[in-house]
A = this chain, B = another copy of it.
Amino acid sequence: MPESFDHKVESTLQRHGMLEKGDQVVVAISGGPDSVVLLHILHRLRIRWGITLIAAHLNHALRGQDSDEDATFVAEYAASLGLPCVMETADVKRYCKAQGCSIETGARDLRYTFLERVARTYNADKIATGHTADDQAETVLMRVIRGSGPDGLSGIRPVRDGWIIRPLLNVTRKEVTAYQATHKLSARFDATNTEQHMLRNKIRHHLLPLLQDEYNPKIQGALSRLADVMRVESNYLDWELEALTTQHIHPVNRDAVCIDLTSWQTIPVALRRRLIRQAVQGAGGRSTRLTYDHVERAQALFDAGHAGQILHLPDEIALERRKTTVLICRSTSEPYQIEMNIPGTTPIPNSDYYIMTEIVDISDSPKERPPSCVAFDVDVLPSQLLIRSRRPGDRMKPFGMNGTKTLKKLFNEWDIPRLMRDRVPVVTDGVHLLWVAGHRRGNQAPLSEQTRKVLIMQQVGRLASGRTDQ
């Protein structure tokens, strides 16, 4: 006797701990058979499992009147079950244009944003979606074909982020249709599903049937099981990675981290790829934009790069190999020039630090100052000073030295990572470099016996230099 549909769904709920007594569940419903069946079975099980339901439908408005009819159908269906139904219309095309993404990606983004908003608004505990074993098989196959690592082959997760649940993930579309017939449920037909240009639909309607007919009649089960094993193993490696992340990825500032080369050697090879992805995220990049080749090249930089070597990755992330570390940072190197508030606080663009200035009487000026502070004779300086990023040809006469040096040479001497040099704020009177913030002042406007008022500058917040070798 084949296992009943109800039993299969309930054992999925059970096995993955999807529901708890008292849960309020937002059920995503498109109007297609999968979601209609999902809402129906959860409604039947609601007393037994002690849950309450809210239907939620996002009108993607991609198929004109058809889309509106879907919305009407969903509203009526939810009402027939006596359930509340939250409806909203999205402008998918505008979103996709703004984000530069495909219609499929855009629709999904907007749908999940909507569902999560509904869940938060109604203080719900879970969001249920109607993904089936067929969706799972399609996803895994699509990822194998497109080229994916272990994470991708994990496919659709039964539970995502702790609250998005997929109770139908172990029943096939065929079983859904049978259930639909048994319970005489009508559903809408989603016309976008037949557009052959979408990879998923091509896999659904051509590739999977072909593989099933000619290679393995049980291929869907095989792909589901693969996803299952991959998910568990991949989660485990990620869990091990967490400990390694704290241990090996050191924050430098808001969008830079570094990894010590000595500790790199101790990281198991299997986890190095994952750690690199993690570091990219730590620096503010998206690990999903990294290909296999990106990660391979990053590994090569760690294993056999030379000091000063730089690797550029997507999302403006760059890696720089240093003597004893590798710096991973977001290279947001927009040049800037702003006026300095005197006295007052000036935030440094694209960073989380700022420069504070004050003017004090020479008699109140402390003899000892912290290294982050520099002092000038204010009467010798113009009233307006500027803070800017470095420019080619910048030269400075460092305090206490004869002659000038190029800023480039000074940066080399101070061993500042190349990737960080655009971020070091420079204070200038328009002609001379008065101060390379956090590093060295120039020899302009020194305190002397004539000095009456002192201008004190201090860099506050995280260290700007990004001296990762300390």
Contacts and interface: CB of A to CB of B under 8 A. Distances in A.
Interface in A235-256: 235-237, 239
A116 to B, nearest CB: 28
B271 A150 contact: no
A236 B241 CA distance: 13
B150 A235 contact: no
B215 A147 contact: no
Interface stretch (A226-234, A314-322, A361-369): A226-234
Interface stretch (A45-53, A216-224, A343-351): A216-224
**Interface-central residue, A222, A236, A270, A292, by most chain B CB under 10 Å:** A270
A115 to B, nearest CB: 28
A202 B214 contact: yes
A148 interface: yes
Contacts of A289: none
Nearest to A232: B270
Interface in A198-223: 199, 202-203, 207, 211, 214-216, 218-219, 221-223
A242 to B, nearest CB: 13
A212 to B, nearest CB: 10
B150 A230 contact: yes
A268 B236 CA distance: 8
Contact of A237 (B145, B233, B235, B292): B233
Interface residues of A, number: 39
Contacts of A292: 225, 228-229
A211 B145 contact: yes
A269 interface: yes
Contacts of A223: 144, 147
A22 interface: no
Interface in A299-347: none
Contacts of A148: 222, 226
A226 B144 contact: yes
Given A233-B270, A292-B229, A222 B145 contact: yes
B147 A226 contact: yes
Contacts of A160: none
A222 B146 contact: yes
A84 interface: no
Nearest to A214: B202
A236 B270 contact: yes
Contact of A207 (B149, B215, B222, B226): B215
Interface string A268-295: 1111010000000000000000001000
Contacts of A225: 147, 149, 292
A229 B144 contact: no
Contacts of A271: 236
A269 B202 CA distance: 35
Contact of A222 (B147, B199, B214, B233): B147
Contacts of A230: 150
Contacts of A268: 236, 239
A144 B145 CA distance: 11
B269 A219 contact: no
Given A271-B236, A273-B229, A218 B150 contact: no
Nearest to A140: B144
Contacts of A229: 149-150, 273, 292
A148 to B, nearest CB: 7
A210 to B, nearest CB: 8
Contacts of A199: 215
Given A235-B270, A236-B237, 19 more contacts: A141-B144, A144-B144, A145-B219, A147-B216, A147-B219, A147-B223, A147-B225, A147-B226, A149-B226, A150-B230, A199-B215, A202-B214, A203-B215, A207-B215, A225-B292, A228-B292, A229-B273, A232-B269, A236-B269
Interface of A: 141, 144-150, 153, 199, 202-203, 207, 211, 214-216, 218-219, 221-223, 225-226, 228-230, 232-233, 235-237, 239, 268-271, 273, 292
Q: Which 4 A-B pairs have the closest CB atoms?
A: A147-B222, A236-B270, A225-B292, A233-B270
